[in-house]
Amino acid sequence: MTTLTDVAPPARGGSRLAASRAVDLLLRYNFVAIFFAVVLIATALSDNFLTFRNISNLFQQASVVGICAVGMSFVILTANIDLSVGSVVACGGMVASLLMASGVPPLLAALAALACGAALGAGMGAISAFAAVPSFIVTLAGLVTVRGVTFLLSNGVPVGGLPRGFGQFGSLAVPVLPGLGFPLLGLLFLLVWAVAALVLRYTVFGEYVYATGGNAEAARLSGLPVRRVVISVFTISGTLAALAGVLLAARLRIGQPTAAQGLELDAIAAVVLGGTSLFGGRGSVTGTLFAVMLLQVLRNIFNLLGLGSFYQMTITGLIIIAAILLNRAIDGRQGRR
């Protein structure tokens, strides 16, 4: 006959298993919990934080780094890194601005800038993949070289005289409610995120990206085109960085060779903070989305508290370190390297 004592141990074991799963879920989605905690703090600090206008502004301000961070997610998922995105942003914006200043229609100028960004990304990816040079070194050289080319293109001076419609595009708001408009740049950021999320989750290419980051050698022995995958993710990163540069030029209504300096730090911080492992094979662009907005909300809080940019840079760096340590702890708990 079955007694109460016979079934009690499995119940306790089930409780421990449920608790362990709860901890794993909390660790896996820690960025979501942190995000909402920071939102609550920001709401307490300012009555205007949760207004539609402020939220719209947050998405508009986050659009440039957010689009770059989505591209960076693809690269880091393959256990690589792209330090050149800030320079590619400036180069993309400058190419588009120079072409428009010389009479080229804005759409063609933007497409040319995207092609330039794609070529730069593909070139750096090819060097890393075929020459077996660490992507850190290749893109560090790219950061300096592309920035130098950007200065050469403009002789070191901003490029103005852009078409009026192009500037209006950068500040356009799409009506979503009566009397309320959401910034187009924010919607483009969300569109890029949605497409990237679908690609990574539901396409063969997405599976290749995760497999390459999880174990590149095993993926190669299984017949996966590892080199082409690496080149592809760098091409995506370069294209999205150039797109961000075009949008930034539209928002500022000027092509600026010094634009986006240090943006690669924010992009990497967002990707790592969002749960993507620097060792590849684990993560999502949804985590990146939450992390981008988290960093934007933190900046909002910094401004409310009157903290200067030096403090903001220091805290951003500390956030990166904390995120890396947390990811390592999660990897260790789940039996990863």
Domain boundaries, the chain: 33-333
Instruction: Please tell me what DSSP assigns to residue 248.
Output: H
Three-point CA angle 312, 316, 317, nearest 5°: 120
180: β partners: 177
177: β partners: 180
What own/partner pairs with CB < 8 Å and gap ≥ 24 does 133-136 have? Answer: 135/75, 135/80, 135/81, 135/82, 135/234, 136/81, 136/83
Phi-psi domain of 221 (left: phi exceeds 0; alpha: psi -120 through 50; beta: other): alpha
Predicted model pTM: 0.88
- Which residue, 76, 73, 78, is CA-closest to 208? 78
Look up residue 90 and give its two tokens. 């400036």
Instruction: Please tell me what DSSP assigns to residue 177.
Output: E
Cα(145)–Cα(124) distance, integer angstroms: 11
Look up residue 142 and give its two tokens. 């790219």
What's the CATH code, domain 33-333? 1.10.3470
The pLDDT tens digits along the chain (337 residues) read: 444 444 445 555 566 766 666 666 666 666 777 788 888 888 888 787 888 888 898 999 999 999 999 999 999 999 999 999 999 999 999 999 999 999 999 999 999 999 999 999 999 999 999 998 999 999 999 999 999 999 999 898 999 889 998 988 888 998 887 778 899 999 999 999 999 999 999 999 999 999 999 999 999 999 999 999 999 999 999 999 999 999 999 999 999 999 999 899 889 989 988 888 888 888 899 999 999 998 888 888 787 777 777 887 787 678 767 766 776 676 666 555 4
